[in-house]
Structure 1
């Protein structure tokens, strides 16, 4: 088994419809990190009203979580995204690409009616592994 995280899109499955990979495989013995869902709260504890502002702060909070464990986006193996309103995919993917470049993890996106507080419009959970 390879000693690194690998990402593949099997030829027998239709290509991803977005910026993700169908399979992210971690080798046996890797250290697993599961982070609580991150929201778009600012360093001052405020939650902006606009979804895109929340997206920016959510990604900043994800980066801070990663840095706290000496991890990078390369360690992320799975991303779960929940939003209460339609994402502006061009804006979202611009922020996504700042974090991932072209090396995408597995991803799930769900639109739901509410999150933990009424003002929260997006929450992103990450799973990461270090080999």
Structure 2
């Protein structure tokens, strides 16, 4: 499988830990991960706290699903993030960069009016791998 970062000067440069686009040639497997919210899988409880704590748990949940399928963060090609408050973007982005800063999948961040169980964040992803 070939994973290529697409970049053109004819579109805006990325302003964070993401790429304009990712081109994947001949993936053997395509994994579509449903939105993950900050639920602690051991307790079933929502992680209380600020956006950083909630983002970290949502990403850890996403990583657990990737690993269960035989994939890694490096296989993620697209991430969609839903935030209840765009004012949390900078703090969220710092946590996100810890996990995805080296692989920089394509990404969209969207502010929404509400999320399940009143959480601050939900993250879904697509991965392609061999």
Shorter chain as normaliser: what TM range?
A: 0.7 to 0.9
**Whole-angstrom CA distance in 1 between matches of 2:94 and 2:15:** 16
Q: Give the Å deviation of 1:24.
A: 0.6
Counterparts in 2 of 1:96-115, with a 5 A limit?
A: 96-115=96-115
TM-score (norm 1): 0.87
Match in the other structure for 1:92:
92
Asked if the contact 2:82–2:111 (Cα under 8 Å) also holds between the matched residues in 1, the reply is yes
Residues 52, 88 of structure 1: 8 Å contact kept:
no
Partners of 1:32 and 1:127 within 8 A in 2 = yes
| Residue 58 (structure 1) shift | 0.6
Per the alignment, residue 122 of structure 1 pairs with: 121
Check if 1:45 corresponds to 2:75.
Answer: no
Q: Are positions 1:54 and 2:54 aligned together?
A: yes
Q: Which deviates more from structure 2 when the two are superposed, residues 25-34 or residues 15-24?
A: 25-34
Q: SS at the partner of 1:36?
A: strand
CA shift, 1:72, in A, is: 0.8
The alignment of Structure 1 onto Structure 2 pairs a total of residues equal to 127
Instruction: Name segments (4+ residues, structure 1) moved above 4 Å.
Output: none
TM-score normalised by the chain length of structure 2: 0.88
Relative to structure 1, the CA distance from residue 23 to residue 110 in structure 2 (aligned partners, 3 Å threshold; closer, same or farther) is same
What's the C-alpha RMSD, in Å, of the aligned pairs? 1.6
The answer for unaligned runs of 5 or more in structure 2 is: none
**Alpha-carbon distance, 1:49 to partner:** 3.1
Q: If each structure's helix is expressed as a fraction of its own residues, which one has the higher value?
A: 2
| Ranges in structure 1 where 5+ consecutive residues have no aligned partner | none
Greater fraction strand: 2
